[in-house]
Amino acid sequence: MKALRTAGVHAALVVACVVTLYPVLWVIKMALSPTQGATLSPSPLPTAVTLQNFADVLGTHDSAGRWLFGRQLANSILVAGAVTAVGVALACSAAYALSRFRFVGRQTSLRAFFVSQMFPGVVTSIPLYVLLERLHLLNHLAGLVLVYATTAIPFCVFMLKGYFDSLPRELEEAVLLDGGTRFDAFWRVALPLARPALAVTALFCFLTAWNEFILAYTFMNDPRAWTLPVALQRYVGDYSTEWGHFAAGAILVSLPVMALFFALERHLVGGLTQGGVKG
Subset of 57-76 contacting other proteins (CB under 8 A): 62-64
Among 66, 136, 166, 277, binds other proteins (CB under 8 A): 166
Among 40, 45, 179, 279, binds other proteins (CB under 8 A): 40
Q: In whole angstroms, give the CA distance from residue 229 to residue 44.
A: 25
Q: In whole angstroms, give the CA distance from residue 196 to residue 201.
A: 9
Shortest distance, position 198 Cβ to other proteins, whole Å? 9
- Does 277 interact with other proteins (rule: CB under 8 A)? no
Shortest distance, position 109 Cβ to other proteins, whole Å? 6
Q: Which is nearer to other proteins, 110 or 171 (CB)?
A: 110
- Does 131 interact with other proteins (rule: CB under 8 A)? yes
Of 152, 166, 120, nearest to 271 by C-alpha is: 166
- The interaxial angle of helices 68-100 and 106-115, nearest 10 deg, is 150
Query: Which residues from 102-121 bind other proteins, rule CB under 8 A?
Result: 102-121
For the chain, give the number of residues.
279
Q: Which is nearer to other proteins, 21 or 174 (CB)?
A: 21
Of 56, 115, 83, 109, nearest to 248 by C-alpha is: 56
Q: Please identify, among the stretches 72-80, 90-98, 169-177, the one whose residues bind other proteins according to the rule CB under 8 A.
A: 90-98
Q: Which is nearer to other proteins, 75 or 270 (CB)?
A: 270
Q: Which is nearer to other proteins, 27 or 171 (CB)?
A: 27
**# residues contacting other proteins (CB under 8 A):** 133
**CB-CB contact of 144 with 214 (8 Å):** no
Query: Which residues from 173-212 bind other proteins, rule CB under 8 A?
Result: 182, 186, 196-197, 199-200, 203-204, 207, 211
**CB-CB contact of 192 with 270 (8 Å):** no
Largest CA distance in the chain: 69
Which of 97-134 are b and which e, b meaning 16 or more Cβ less than 10 Å from the residue's Cβ? bbbbeeeeeeeeebeebeeeeeeeeeeeeeebeeebee
Query: Which residues from 3-32 bind other proteins, rule CB under 8 A?
Result: 6, 9-10, 12-13, 16-17, 19-24, 26-27
Q: Which is nearer to other proteins, 74 or 124 (CB)?
A: 124
- The interaxial angle of helices 68-100 and 195-210, nearest 10 deg, is 140
